[in-house]
Each structure stands twice: as C-alpha cells, then as structure tokens.
C-alpha cells in the first residue's frame, strides 16, 4: 500500500444524501431505468438505495467485476464474472458503482454490455476521470482514497487502522 494515500471516510448519511442527489437528477431528466445493475462490491448498496427511490417496478441485478486487489493496488485489467445478459437485453439499464476514477471498470462493463440502452450512476467521480458517469453525487480530489461504510472492516484489516473504525 502507498503510504502517501489520503483517506476520505464516507458515512451512511453521506451515502444516502448522494443517492438522493442522483435520484433528483434522474427525475429532472425524466429518466427511469427498467433495471439497475449494481457493480459488486461497491455499487450494490447505492444500487439498492436507488431502486428504493425509483420504485418497486425497477429490477435490481448485480455484476461482479474486480479491478483493485487492495488499497491502491490495481490489476492489469478488470475481471468480469459470468452474467446472463439475456435477462436485461432490450431494457433501459442504469449501471451503478461507488466511484469512477480511471473509468477502466465502468468502460469494461459498458463494452461487455454494448448495444444496450445504458446510463451510468456513481456516488463519486474523481476530478481526473476523462469520462464522468451520467449521474453522480459529487466530484472528489484525485489524491483521496474513498472509504465507504460497507468496507470499513476490510479497510481496517488492510491498513491495520482500528481505532474508531471497529
């Protein structure tokens, strides 16, 4: 792990507020997907919150994709687990993740599901990202490693920081 990484903790209140902001932007655009696809692992919780805001007729699916092996440690390319694309073909889809930094993960999913009616949503976009998601909660500095509530124990294990996190 790079010792120069600065951490920004994102609590539950922040997450809900960011999801509400994304939802309001979707409403302003008159956009309502048929299906929300949460990218595992970081996108599943915001995806579920957005489904709740959008209504019971929006279905939730997940795709498992991994780019990072640990804090600041990337693989050469994202690994996408098997997914039944036939279940979502022909539907309005919104792909949800926690953060876009390099756009590598989101681009891999968009290429994997090419030809579909797809939009993207993320809680955060890094300033240097060449492409931003269609809907996002806020833009954050590049030098921050975001730590969300749902990964705080993983973070504590990897960094050996336990004080107020556990």
Q: What is the mean pLDDT of the chain?
A: 85
Backbone angles phi, psi at 141, to 5 degrees: -60, 150
**Which residues have C-beta within 8 Å of that of residue 120, sequence separation ≥ 6?**
94, 95, 96, 97, 100, 106, 110, 133, 134, 135
Residue with tokens 């957005």: 50
Under 8 Å between Cβ of 63 and 6: no
Query: Domain 11-138 is of which CATH architecture?
Result: 3-Layer(aba) Sandwich (3.40)
pLDDT-wise least confident of 2-11, 47-56, 78-87: 78-87
pLDDT band at 138, cuts 50/70/90? very high
pLDDT at 70: 57
pTM over 0.95: no
């Amino acid at each position: 792990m790079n010792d120069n990484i600065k951490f920004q903790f994102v609590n539950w209140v922040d997450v809900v507020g960011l999801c509400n902001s994304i939802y309001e932007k979707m409403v302003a655009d008159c956009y309502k997907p048929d299906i929300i696809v949460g990218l595992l692992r970081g996108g599943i919780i915001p995806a579920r919150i957005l489904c709740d805001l959008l209504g019971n007729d929006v279905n939730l699916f997940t795709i498992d994709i991994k780019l990072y092996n640990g804090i600041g440690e990337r693989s050469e390319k994202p690994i996408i687990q098997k997914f039944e694309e036939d279940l979502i073909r022909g539907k309005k889809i919104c792909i949800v993740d926690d953060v876009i930094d390099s756009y590598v993960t989101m681009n891999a999913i968009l290429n994997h599901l090419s030809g579909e009616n797809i939009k993207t949503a993320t809680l955060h976009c890094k300033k240097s990202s060449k492409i931003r998601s269609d809907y996002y909660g806020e833009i954050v500095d590049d030098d921050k490693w975001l730590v969300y509530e749902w990964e705080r124990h993983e973070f504590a294990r990897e960094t050996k920081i336990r004080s107020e996190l556990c």
